[in-house]
């Protein structure tokens, strides 16, 4: 099977297996919880390592090298956050909200955003103003809709959502959609060429994180997010796992990218 089919098939298989485990939950909710965060950590570390290795394919000073270094740094922060979550639970210590886990996760998105902006500029994306406005309107609409629904719950349930919890949830939401906005513009420009293939995976990863961020933010505001407990939580967890797997696939695709040799006449 060719690589362009093997990678999506592997990701689809892993997500299908995790989704089935989420539905039937063999071993109970505690096993599912630890499995979920172990997969998150493994996927994040794999994505970080592959991204940093991919950066070494380019000479120092080249923009592509900086792009992959920034993305790898962001993934390293996310991986550390996921690993810290596991450490908290291994020692039996309850995790406050927000905690260092959330802080590291929030910090991790900053270099990821920087890497996408740098890649967007390096691509010299040529989209019309109408296309950019269309994407902006869509994302602003999603943001306002999410805030409207969440605000409706908060106003009807005063005292149930702490101010800090509200601010952290808003950061997750706005940060995820902001990064996804840049990713979408890049994806609209990419045409599926061989060189662009790694970044198709990368922007797909960011879009999955945006979906997960929407579900997670709403779930934390409404106190309904809990791994394996409902459909909203399943959407968030499956999307986060998909995001990590796609990010790792992007780095692997870059490392194994081989351009066809040019025949001399």
CATH code at 187? Answer: 1.20.1070
Q: What is the token pair recorded at 117?
A: 């902006």
Asked if residue 162 belongs to a domain, the reply is yes
The secondary structure of residue 96, as a DSSP letter, is P
- Indicate the length of the chain as a whole number: 265
Asked if residue 11 belongs to a domain, the reply is no
Name residues whose C-beta falls within 8 Å of residue 128's C-beta, 6 or more positions apart in sequence. Answer: none
The pLDDT, as a whole number, for residue 264 is 39
What CA–CA distances, in Å, run from 4 to 41, 153, 246? Answer: 25, 44, 13
Asked if residue 12 belongs to a domain, the reply is no
Q: What is the token pair recorded at 143?
A: 């943001």
The pLDDT, as a whole number, for residue 227 is 92
207-240 as b/e: b if 16+ CB within 10 A: bbbbbbbbbbbbbbbbeebebbeeebbbbbbbbb
Cα maximum dimension of the chain: 76
Asked if residue 90 belongs to a domain, the reply is yes
Residue numbers of the chain with a pLDDT score lower than 50? 1, 260-265
The pLDDT, as a whole number, for residue 232 is 92
The pLDDT, as a whole number, for residue 21 is 96
Residue 157 CB neighbour total at 10 angstroms: 12
By residue range, what is the domain housing residue 205? 25-255
Asked if residue 247 belongs to a domain, the reply is yes
* Number of domains comprising the chain: 1
Distance of CA 128 to the CA centre of its chain: 27
Asked if residue 105 belongs to a domain, the reply is yes
The pLDDT, as a whole number, for residue 61 is 84
Q: SS3 of 217, please?
A: helix
Asked if residue 59 belongs to a domain, the reply is yes
Asked if residue 29 belongs to a domain, the reply is yes
The pLDDT, as a whole number, for residue 247 is 95
The pLDDT, as a whole number, for residue 262 is 37
Residue 250 CB neighbour total at 10 angstroms: 26
State pTM to two decimals.
0.84
Q: Which of 207, 251, 256 is nearest to 73 (CA)?
A: 251
The pLDDT, as a whole number, for residue 237 is 96
The pLDDT, as a whole number, for residue 167 is 65
């Amino acid at each position: 099977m060719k690589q362009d089919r093997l990678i999506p098939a592997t990701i689809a298989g892993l997500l299908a297996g995790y989704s089935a485990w989420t539905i039937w939950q063999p071993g109970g909710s505690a096993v599912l919880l630890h499995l979920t965060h172990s997969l998150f950590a493994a996927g994040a570390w794999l994505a970080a390592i592959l991204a940093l290795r991919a950066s070494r394919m380019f000479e120092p000073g080249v923009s592509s090298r900086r792009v992959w270094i920034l993305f790898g740094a962001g993934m390293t922060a996310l991986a550390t956050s996921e690993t810290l979550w596991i450490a908290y639970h291994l020692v039996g210590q309850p995790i406050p909200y927000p905690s260092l886990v959330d802080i590291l996760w929030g910090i991790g998105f900053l270099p990821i955003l920087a890497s996408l902006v740098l890649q967007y500029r390096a691509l010299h994306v040529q989209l019309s103003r109408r296309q950019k406005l269309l994407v902006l309107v869509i994302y602003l609409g999603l943001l306002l809709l999410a805030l409207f629904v969440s605000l409706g719950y908060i106003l009807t349930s005063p005292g149930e959502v702490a101010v800090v919890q509200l601010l952290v949830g808003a950061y997750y939401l706005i940060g995820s959609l902001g990064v996804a906005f840049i990713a979408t513009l890049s994806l609209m420009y990419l045409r599926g060429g061989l060189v662009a293939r790694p970044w198709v995976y990368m922007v797909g990863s960011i879009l999955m994180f945006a979906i997960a961020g929407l579900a997670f933010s709403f779930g934390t505001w409404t106190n309904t997010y809990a791994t394996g407990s409902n459909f909203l939580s399943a959407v968030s967890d499956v999307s986060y796992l998909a995001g990590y797997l796609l990010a790792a696939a992007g780095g692997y695709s870059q490392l194994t990218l081989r351009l066809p040799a040019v025949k001399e006449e």
